[in-house]
Structure formats: structure tokens, C-alpha cells
Structure 1
Amino acid sequence: MIPILTTTSTIMCPHGGMAQLITSNTQALVGGAAMLLQTDVHLIVGCPFTPVAYSPCVSIRWLTAATQTALHNVPVLLQNSVGLCLNAAQVPQGTAIVVQVQQQAKGI
């Protein structure tokens, strides 16, 4: 069992930008915070990535999520879910880093 991500989790891009964790889920809460869903797209703020030209991460799209834990047939995000950080042109910049999670509810 792996911790479920919620709106109080901390997720960053690989360059230090912070994800804004907003979800379409308004029904399932863990400790008062909404569970995140695989269909959620999270905006990133403060990414300083500048390989040659300014190209910060601006969003996270989730590639993997729970295989057996879902809300209305939409998988919830887990601590080990893989999210791809994208720039404004939707070019991958690396994978999201889950920094902090709740420990009350877990999923598979």
C-alpha cells in the first residue's frame, strides 16, 4: 500500500518549481484534503530551467497512477505515480518529484 497524493502534498519539477495541486475531485477527502486524480493537470510555478533559452516547466501530466484505487473509475495518484513535467510547448523537461505526502490513506 502506497500513500495517496492530496492537495496538501508537495510536488516539484526537477528544477525546483512548485506544483499547484488543484483537483477536479470534490468528493473524496483524506484529512480534509482532496485526493488527486490521474486526469488532473497541475500547473508549475517558479521553474528556473534555462538550458539554452528560457524554457521553464509549466505543467505536470500524469502517466501512471493507482491500478486498483479509483474515484468514479479514475485512478488516484500515489506517492510512486509518474508525472511528466512539460514546458509551454508541451516538451518534456523531466519527471515530477513527490516531496511530501500524507500517511493516513493508502492505495494500490
Structure 2
Amino acid sequence: MTLCTHAGQARPAVLNPRVKVGGQPTAVLTAPWLVTCAASGVPRCVTAQWVTGTTRVRSVGVPLVIQGGTAVCAPSGGPLAVVAVQPRVRGI
């Protein structure tokens, strides 16, 4: 689960079916994220874009989103926080 600074949930607009983790598709760094923001009185987060992700693992030539990556919400400029993850991946 990924949240904006206002506790709004974020999800990828496009999933990557080529690589799965725990049976679920992953998200690539270039895919936009949609944010359902609960903020009031401040600019609500509408979208987010990841700017850093995996450094050695790629799918379709693009890095994947990871817990330690960095994302920026628009129009607020706040970050996304990853609060639930698949903790370990093993490639075969």
C-alpha cells in the first residue's frame, strides 16, 4: 500500500504483467500513479510519479518501483510513502 502525505491511497495507473511478485503484477518507474487524496484546505494530491526505483532489476527495460524509491505527488509536491510491501523477491 502506498500513501500520500495526507493519507490518500495511491495506485499505479498501469500495471506491469511481465514481472509478478507474490503473484501480483509489479509497477514500472515510468507508469503514472493515481492518488485518492483526503486532504482539505490544501492542494489535493491527484497523481504521482516515481523518480527513483530499482538499480539492477528492470522489466521491459525500465526500473521497477520499490519501497526505498522516491515519488512526487502533483500538484502538492509531497512524497509518497510505501507502507506495505512484498519484502523479498527471488528471480529464477
Alignment TM-score, normalising by the size of structure 1: 0.75
C-alpha deviations, 1:3-60, integer Å up to 9, x for none? xxxxxxx000011111123434122111111111101111001331423xxx200011
Cα separation, 1, equivalents of 2:13 and 2:66: 15
**Structure having the larger proportion of residues in strand:** 2
Alignment TM-score, normalising by the size of structure 2: 0.86
Instruction: Indicate whether 1:41 and 2:29 are aligned.
Output: no
Aligned to 1:98: 82
User: Could you say what secondary structure the match of 2:77 adopts?
Assistant: strand
C-alpha deviations, 1:65-106, integer Å up to 9, x for none? 11111002100111101000112xxxx431111111012317
Cα separation, 1, equivalents of 2:51 and 2:88: 24
Aligned to 1:63: 51
Structure 1 stretches of 4+ moved >6 Å: none
* C-alpha contact 1:82 1:95 (8 A) present in aligned 2: yes
Specify which structure has the bigger relative contact order, considering alpha-carbon pairs within 8 angstroms and separated by 6 or more residues. 1
> Size of the alignment, in residue pairs?
91
In structure 1, the gaps of 5 or more residues are: 1-9
Distance 1:40 1:49, change over 3 A: farther
In structure 2, the gaps of 5 or more residues are: none
